[in-house]
């Protein structure tokens, strides 16, 4: 049903879109390059896509068909993650940047998912990749999910230290009001 080529095409598209976004991001007033993890994650997805496409060529088409339940769950999770990501980006508006920074008129967004968790975009990326893992059910994808999750925790902690340093009490109050970084009641 879902060939590795289809999923590797998705990963390649994601890689290209992220590189374009990184190149075209408007730097904030006080900016610092994104953590190195961003580039490592992009390269991992690119290599993963190449491995999956090569595997299908070597093993032949149809070797990794999946059931309807896993297909439906994977697609549903991807759609939910993309919708969540789009809503969060819309809430952030001009405050969103792929480079860590603050703007002169910077505010802390407290609407939508940002009133429940502090890093919903990172969470939606991990959830979206979980959908890819369900579609693939390949060890390479599951390793990528673990690595990506750890990387986003690292990035979130790094970003929070940056925001506390530059926004001070405004972000500290937000952290007190919204206790959870990713999953309410867990993390």
Instruction: Find tokens 């990387």 and name the residue.
Output: 151
Q: Which two tokens stand for residue 4?
A: 């590795």
pLDDT at residue 104, as a whole number: 83
pLDDT value for 7: 61
pLDDT of res. 96? 80
Quote the pLDDT of residue 87. Answer: 85
* Closest among 129, 137, 125 to 1, alpha carbons compared: 137
Instruction: Write the CB contacts of 110 (distance below 8 Å, at least 6 apart in sequence).
Output: 174, 177, 178
Q: What is the pLDDT of residue 73?
A: 84
pLDDT of residue 6: 61
C-alpha–C-alpha distance, residues 57 and 59, integer Å: 6
The pTM (predicted TM-score) of the whole model is: 0.72
29 closest CA partner among 100, 121, 118? 100
Domains in the chain: boundaries = 4-177
pLDDT of 65 reads: 54
CA distance 47 to 35: 20
3-state secondary structure of 74: helix
What is the Rg, in whole angstroms, of the alpha carbon atoms belonging to the chain? 18
Q: Report which of 151, 161, 160 is spatially closest to residue 38, judged by C-alpha positions.
A: 151
Q: What is the pLDDT of residue 86?
A: 79
Stated as kind and residue range, the H or E segment containing 111 is none
Q: What is the pLDDT along the chain (187 residues), one digit of tens a residue?
A: 445 666 666 666 666 655 655 555 444 443 444 555 556 666 666 666 666 666 665 555 554 455 677 777 877 887 788 788 878 888 888 888 767 888 888 899 999 999 999 999 899 889 988 887 887 777 777 888 888 888 889 889 999 999 999 999 999 999 999 999 999 878 7
């Amino acid at each position: 049903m879902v060939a590795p080529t289809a999923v590797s095409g998705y990963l390649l598209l994601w890689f290209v879109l992220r590189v374009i976004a990184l190149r075209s991001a408007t730097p904030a007033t006080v900016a610092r390059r994104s953590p190195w993890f961003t580039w490592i994650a992009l390269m991992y997805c690119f290599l993963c896509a190449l491995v999956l496409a090569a595997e299908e060529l070597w093993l032949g088409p149809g070797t990794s068909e999946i059931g309807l339940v896993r297909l439906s769950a994977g697609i549903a999770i991807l759609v939910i993650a993309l919708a969540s990501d789009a809503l969060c980006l819309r809430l952030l508006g001009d405050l969103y940047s792929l480079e860590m920074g603050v703007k002169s008129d910077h505010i802390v967004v407290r609407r939508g998912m940002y009133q429940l968790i502090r890093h919903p975009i990172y969470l939606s990326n991990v959830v979206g990749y979980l959908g890819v893992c369900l579609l693939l059910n390949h060890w390479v994808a599951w390793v990528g999910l673990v690595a990506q999750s750890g990387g986003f925790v690292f990035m979130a902690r790094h970003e929070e230290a940056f925001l506390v340093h530059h926004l001070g009490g405004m972000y500290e109050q937000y952290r007190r009001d919204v206790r959870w970084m990713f999953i309410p009641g867990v993390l």
